[in-house]
Amino acid sequence: MNPFLLQLFVGVLVGIGAGYLGSFMVLRRMSLVGDALSHVALPGIAIALLIGVNPFIGGFFALTLAVIGIWGLERKTTLPPETLVGILFTISLAIGLLITPEPELLEALFGDITKIGVFDAILTLILTSTVLFVMPRIIPGTILGVISPDLAHSARFKLKNINLIFLLMVAIVVALGLKVAGTLLMGSLVIIPAAAAKNISRDLTSYTRLSAFFGAITAGTGIIAANAFGVVPGPIVVLAGGLMFLITLAVRNDF
We report the CATH number of the domain holding residue 182 as: 1.10.3470.10
Domain range enclosing 168: 3-250
The pTM assigned to this predicted structure is 0.87
| pLDDT confidence bin for 223, thresholds 50/70/90 | very high
Q: Report yes or no on 233 lying in a domain.
A: yes
Q: Report yes or no on 141 lying in a domain.
A: yes
Q: Report yes or no on 109 lying in a domain.
A: yes
Q: Report yes or no on 157 lying in a domain.
A: yes
Average pLDDT over residues 123-133: 94
Range among 17-31, 147-161, 174-188 with highest mean pLDDT value: 17-31
Q: Report yes or no on 255 lying in a domain.
A: no
Evaluate if residue 72 carries a pLDDT over 90: no
Q: Report yes or no on 180 lying in a domain.
A: yes
Q: Report yes or no on 71 lying in a domain.
A: yes
| Number of structural domains in the chain | 1
Average pLDDT over residues 130-153: 81
Q: Report yes or no on 122 lying in a domain.
A: yes
**Type of residue numbered 58:** G
Q: What is the pLDDT of residue 102?
A: 66
